[in-house]
Homo-oligomer: A and B are copies of this chain.
């Protein structure tokens, strides 16, 4: 990887700025709650993405670096066990301190220190780590939007964030055929990629046809109306148990008012727009829908090979592939090795990107992953037959 140093610095500064920009519509109170363990307080995202640069870049490479506040190294560690103690994940919402203002000061302090480091030093190690930190922060920008949506959606008054992340109708329709054979997938050494997508390798595919459009709300409403949420034959055993425990009757954010389905969106509560792709479905729901259509979800290899044949990027697309290491994958040593590998069990891969994916963060080799019951992320369904 040989991104010019100046570009790294520019990317760094604009990424830092973008995170703060995403928070502009928030009231100060919105930075605090953690309504479910999966949803982190926005303040925590602001701090954690900063901590990453302080912990892995500044403390390693800036010889005279004084941490902004030693306690912050504890507050804002997420799950890096190698980087020391941390606040238990499900207690993030109990932290009123440091205040938002202090966290913004922390951001500025670390941003300046990294900028100074980048100006003064040229080592490839630093550039690589800062680049990783940029992509880490981009990933959190997307999570931040999921979490803001969830927090707003929990408020009885369902406040409005804005219309920056609206979906549009998928314009292509029909199926594209792909001939079976040996193909290559995985990241090559051009541009940034995570450890989990590296290892360009061959895969053997059978013939398949892939839909050009994501499943629409109209199609999904047909599924609901024809009893999709009451016929256990369509569901995984664990999916059916989840549906029953959680009382699922529709995707997340859908509510029936006076007999009609509507949904909470970042721009307020709305009638279902039947032309838009269905959003906020779990793997269990995506699989049940596919079974109802006598189709299936693509494997991640099928998706990657076919991806030039359709337009993608509105919603992350569930694949039928469990999240497992690529051939030759080994975890890096130390804290950075915790980034991906340790989650490779009981998760499913999603491919593509979403309207909340930061510009420049999407690529066809990207392996996103969530637990099969998760549905607060911006996820949709593409079928294969």
Contacts and interface: CB of A to CB of B under 8 A. Distances in A.
A144 to B, nearest CB: 15
A121 interface: no
Contacts of A345: 236, 238-239, 283-284, 287, 348, 372
A200 to B, nearest CB: 12
A337 B155 contact: no
A68 interface: no
A348 B346 CA distance: 9
A138 to B, nearest CB: 22
A112 interface: no
Contacts of A71: 156-157
A31 interface: yes
Interface string A64-100: 0000000100110001011000010001011111111
A362 interface: no
B97 A342 contact: no
A49 to B, nearest CB: 19
Interface string A138-154: 00000000000001001
Nearest to A206: B327
A342 B237 contact: yes
B372 A29 contact: no
A7 interface: no
Interface in A285-330: 287, 291, 296, 320-322, 324-325, 327-328
A238 B99 contact: no
Nearest to A294: B330
Interface string A200-221: 0111101000000000000000
A96 B156 contact: no
A119 interface: no
Given A202-B204, A324-B322, A237 B79 contact: yes
Indicate the member of A75, A206, A337, A342 with the most B CB atoms within 10 Å.
Answer: A342
Interface secondary structure of A, over-half rule: mixed
A75 B87 CA distance: 29
A258 interface: no
A162 interface: no
A159 interface: yes
Contact of A324 (B232, B320, B331, B346): B320
A52 to B, nearest CB: 18
A190 interface: no
Given A29-B31, A202-B204, A96 B235 contact: no
Contacts of A328: 206
Nearest to A328: B206
Interface of A: 27-33, 35, 43, 71, 74-75, 79, 81-82, 87, 91, 93-100, 151, 154-157, 159, 182, 201-204, 206, 232-233, 235-240, 283-284, 287, 291, 296, 320-322, 324-325, 327-328, 331, 337-338, 342-346, 348, 372
10 contacts: A32-B33, A33-B93, A35-B91, A93-B93, A233-B331, A236-B344, A240-B342, A296-B325, A345-B348, A345-B372
Given A28-B99, A91-B154, A202-B204, 14 more contacts: A29-B43, A31-B96, A32-B96, A87-B156, A97-B155, A206-B327, A236-B344, A236-B345, A238-B346, A239-B345, A283-B345, A287-B345, A321-B324, A345-B372
